[in-house]
Amino acid sequence: MKCVFCGNQLTKDTQTIERRINNHLIYIKNVPVDLCNFCGEVYVDDNIVSEMNQILQKQKQISNTITVDFKTFREQSAANFNDVSRQNHYNLVTT
């Protein structure tokens, strides 16, 4: 895939994505992205955006700025999907 702005080749990388919800700042780290190393443009796949939205929906009690690890969320979601009887417990917030 090539960058739509400069035409250079994109590389796979991970980034920390920043989102705001109700005037609270949330950082989602380790998000898989396609990155242009020439101009710095970052591309996030639609499926990844959907997963990030799931993370944000699970953060109902936001008190301050928090950081969520995308990789940890993905691993825990897969484990919970495979074990329906297990309670949903997400240990995502790090400081």
Residues 41-89: tens digit of each pLDDT:
999 999 999 999 988 887 666 666 778 888 888 888 777 755 543 333 3
pLDDT digits (tens, 9 = 90+) for 10-25: 999 999 999 887 777 8
Res 89: pLDDT: 35
Instruction: Find out whether 73 and 92 touch, Cβ atoms under 8 Å.
Output: yes
pTM: predicted TM-score of the whole model, two decimal places: 0.69
**Rounded CA gap, 61 and 79, in Å?**
23
- Pairwise CA distance, residues 61 & 65, whole Å: 11
Q: Which of 87, 66, 74, 90 is nearest to 17 (CA)?
A: 66
Q: Taken in order 48, 93, 74, 86, is the CA torsion positive or negative?
A: negative
Task: Give 22's contacts (C-beta < 8 A, 6+ positions apart).
Answer: 62
